[in-house]
Amino acid sequence: MRHGADVLPGYKHITQAKINSRPLRTEFTEVSAKANLQDLMDHTAKRLLESLPENEKKLTPTVHKILAHGKDIIEYQSLPIGELSEEAQESLNKFYKKYRLQNTFKASRVKQIEDLFNMLAASSDPLISSLRHVKSRKELQWNYTSEMISLLIF
């Protein structure tokens, strides 16, 4: 390594980079920083686009949706944001498969998808789900009579 090599950026460059990484309208106190959510998202999108090569200056549709429309989604949704994630959808895949295999008419693909849709709509409807009685473990246990036990024992 040669003497005087420019290995790390100078302190002035680091502080300038930190200032550039802040959204324009940010309020600072000794213990906190406060920024408008949409300003923060717009600033993030701008910084992402700046970091991309010239021939790839386009955000993916998912990133665009989050950064451009995320504030509106958060403000106008009646559900908490965690319930809108893909994780909940992914966890239902086992039910999709079960319903498709056991509860659909398989004469045509269209009819199968229609049956699957109706089954999922019924299972996700809060009113219909509240009417369904789910048996507890105790209710599922068998009550053997002495007659039944005598038939089982050789």
Predicted local confidence at residue 53, as pLDDT:
84
More confident site: 136 or 66: 66
Q: In terms of domains, do 97 and 70 share one?
A: no
Reply yes or no on whether the pLDDT at 147 is more than 60.
yes
Q: Has residue 75 been placed in a domain?
A: yes
Q: Has residue 119 been placed in a domain?
A: yes
Reply yes or no on whether the pLDDT at 133 is more than 80.
no
Reply yes or no on whether the pLDDT at 67 is more than 70.
yes
Predicted local confidence at residue 4, as pLDDT:
67
Q: In terms of domains, do 111 and 53 share one?
A: no
Q: In terms of domains, do 22 and 79 share one?
A: yes
- pTM of full prediction above 0.75: no
pLDDT tens for each residue of 16-44: 888 777 777 788 888 888 888 888 888 88
Boundary residue ending a domain (29, 55, 87)? 87
Q: Could you list the residue range(s) of the whole structural domain that residue 38 is in?
A: 9-87
Reply yes or no on whether the pLDDT at 144 is more than 80.
no
Q: Give residue for tokens 């002495």.
A: 146
Q: Has residue 146 been placed in a domain?
A: no
Q: In terms of domains, do 59 and 102 share one?
A: no
Reply yes or no on whether the pLDDT at 6 is more than 70.
no
Q: In terms of domains, do 59 and 125 share one?
A: no
Reply yes or no on whether the pLDDT at 108 is more than 80.
yes
Predicted local confidence at residue 44, as pLDDT:
85
Burial class (CB in 10 A: 0-12, 13-18, 19+), 43: buried
Q: In terms of domains, do 65 and 51 share one?
A: yes
Element (H, E) at 98: helix 93-102
Q: In terms of domains, do 27 and 46 share one?
A: yes
C-alpha neighbours within 13 Å on the C-beta side of residue 31: 0
Q: Has residue 1 been placed in a domain?
A: no
Q: Has residue 148 been placed in a domain?
A: no
CB-CB contact of 115 with 105 (8 Å): yes
**Region for 4 from its dihedrals, namely left if φ exceeds 0, alpha if ψ lies in -120 to 50, beta otherwise:** left
d(CA 52, CA 56): 6
Reply yes or no on whether the pLDDT at 87 is more than 70.
yes
Q: In terms of domains, do 58 and 123 share one?
A: no
